[in-house]
Amino acid sequence: MTILAITLARFRTAWQHAGLRRAGSSAGWMLAERLVRLAGGAFVGIWLARYLGPADFGIYNFAIALSIIVTSLTTLGLDGILVRELVRDPAGEGRLLGSAALLRLAGGLGASLAIVALATGLRPDDPAVVALTAIIGVAGVLQASTVVDLWFRARLAARDAALARTLACLAAVLLRVGLILAGAPLIAFAWAFVAEALLGAVAVLLAYGRHGGNPLGWRPSRAAARALLDDSWPLIFSGLLVNLYLRVDQVMLARLRGDVELGVYSGAVRIAEVFPIVPNTIVAALLPTIVAARAAGPQLYARRLRQLYGLVAALGYAFALPVTLLAGPLTILLLGSAYAGAAPSLVALTWAGLFGSLGVARSSFLTAENYTRLHLATVALGCVANLGLNWWLIPPLGGLGAAIASLISYWLAAHGSCFLFPALRPTGVAMARALLWPRFW
């Protein structure tokens, strides 16, 4: 039999398993929602890049990068931990959801204040940039509603939440298109960022209500909150460090080379970020099955992880190879001639995305094993490397230097660091095999 025939036969056999079928359906809905968000975001982002031009687009992305770095604290590293606990203790969902929501609300309020202080410190003579960043930071307060998405994910029933967020996303896309057509100023797009977060929060809460859920019935518990934080606190700093080394290049580019250079580089980022949404969505949807496979036995657990790494690597090659060959004309076609210099950065960022997605896949293993401290250590290593490489490479190379720094540090955090810790060496070997032969059947 051919490899294709064997793969199709394996998929048909797996689909007969009720748990995998539910996971596949949930992953499909999550993937569809994120693809719609991705398509809408890419369409508007590319149009916005053309509309604003490299300078204003650089300012806009500086504000977003700074806000994302700080608001990453509002998630408190709870995503995987909360899904795991909801799978283990479905009867305690009111206590778990209420505690997690309250924690995230407090984190969002603190992050909003921190964003204003940080923006003022970095751009003291530019009140317009400070105002832009402060407005975008308001969206972090709405992170409390995302615990409902995790409830749907734990139940492998993402359809209603995905549909709700898709409708909210489409409404936000139309809002941004209207602003572009109306010739709106830059600050209006910051308010559109907040509006999208608000629409998404309302939509997913309505979907939760249709399933009989009622946030007013949640009962936050100090003991539950403490237990969640006991497991997630290393992931709080991991999330901050991840977003730091994902976005700090844009902050440093603005400081070291100016807003125009950042605007051109941000155009490459907008194209490169198309790929990771697909494997990252699949990984998020399959986390409950990884947790369940660990409980079922070591052989099934190892096979599921091997398949996950192989699938992510295969998807990465399917995206990175064509982009590498077509980066020049693709950049000009999508962004215009003003962004032609972004092509080399796009190639490096695309390959960096492959390692970033493998790191997300590895996080399923780390969550299932409760290796939160190891996750923090590997992410910290990647972050330190990213900061040092950006500081060294951005002055002479600009955006290309930032892209090379991302490529090296993403590999180090996701894969290279595995060989520094004995507990992670087997998964490092599994990832290496997936990169050499991405077999996911």
115-151 tens-digit pLDDT:
888 888 888 888 888 888 888 888 877 777 777 877 7
What pLDDT score does 248 carry? 82
What pLDDT score does 26 carry? 56
- Residues 152-205 have pLDDT tens digits of 777 766 677 777 778 888 888 899 999 999 999 989 998 998 888 888 888 888
Pick from 118, 394, 403: nearest CA to 252 = 394
Low-confidence ranges of the chain (pLDDT < 50): 1-11, 14-19
Instruction: Say what the pTM is.
Output: 0.69
Angle between helix 259-272 and 18-71 (nearest 10): 180
What pLDDT score does 5 carry? 45
What pLDDT score does 188 carry? 92
Pick from 67, 62, 207, 227: nearest CA to 148 = 207
What pLDDT score does 409 carry? 92
